[in-house]
């Protein structure tokens, strides 16, 4: 099987297509080597689903991609939740960056 390069843009395209996402932000936290990603995914597919079911949908949609990377985290929201949060915070808060320094995993060089 040929090795594929997983990137922010390839993950964004896959999530947009496979989950009918209306907004996707993917951040490569590995310093560009494509091994650790965090994301914010806004999709009507999440309506009526709890957090676990939302994450299962994402993991199923990205099954092949996730198998090729080291770390993956996702913040999953419905369009209504995202709009409400943006209104409360004055804009998108983006994907979670917990455990990072400047949005990059500590100890990883480019």
- Both structure tokens of 80: 């209504």
In the numeric block, the tokens 């996702």 are attached to 74
**29 within a domain of the structure (yes/no):** yes
**97 within a domain of the structure (yes/no):** no
**73 within a domain of the structure (yes/no):** yes
Rg (the chain; Cα; Å): 14
**106 within a domain of the structure (yes/no):** no
Question: What are residue 39's DSSP bridge partners?
Answer: 26, 74
pTM given for the model: 0.77
Residues 7-60: pLDDT tens digits?
999 999 999 999 999 999 999 998 777 789 999 999 999 999 999 999 999 999
> What is the residue range of 42's domain?
8-81
**110 within a domain of the structure (yes/no):** no
For residue 30, the domain's CATH number is 3.30.300.90
**19 within a domain of the structure (yes/no):** yes
**102 within a domain of the structure (yes/no):** no
In Å, what is the CA distance from 97 to each residue of 38, 58, 93?
A: 7, 18, 10
- Number of structural domains the chain divides into: 1
User: How far is residue 68's CA from residue 70's CA, in Å, rounded to a whole number?
Assistant: 7
């Amino acid at each position: 099987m040929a090795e594929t390069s997983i990137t922010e843009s390839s993950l964004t395209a896959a999530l947009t297509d496979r989950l009918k996402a209306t907004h996707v932000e993917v951040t490569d936290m590995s310093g560009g080597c494509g091994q650790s990603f965090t994301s914010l995914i806004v999709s009507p597919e999440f309506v009526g689903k709890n957090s676990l079911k939302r994450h299962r949908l994402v993991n199923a949609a990205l099954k092949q991609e996730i198998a090729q990377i080291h770390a993956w985290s996702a913040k999953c929201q419905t369009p209504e939740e995202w709009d409400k949060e943006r209104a409360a915070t004055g804009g998108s808060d983006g994907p979670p960056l917990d455990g990072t320094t400047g949005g990059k995993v500590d100890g990883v060089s480019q």
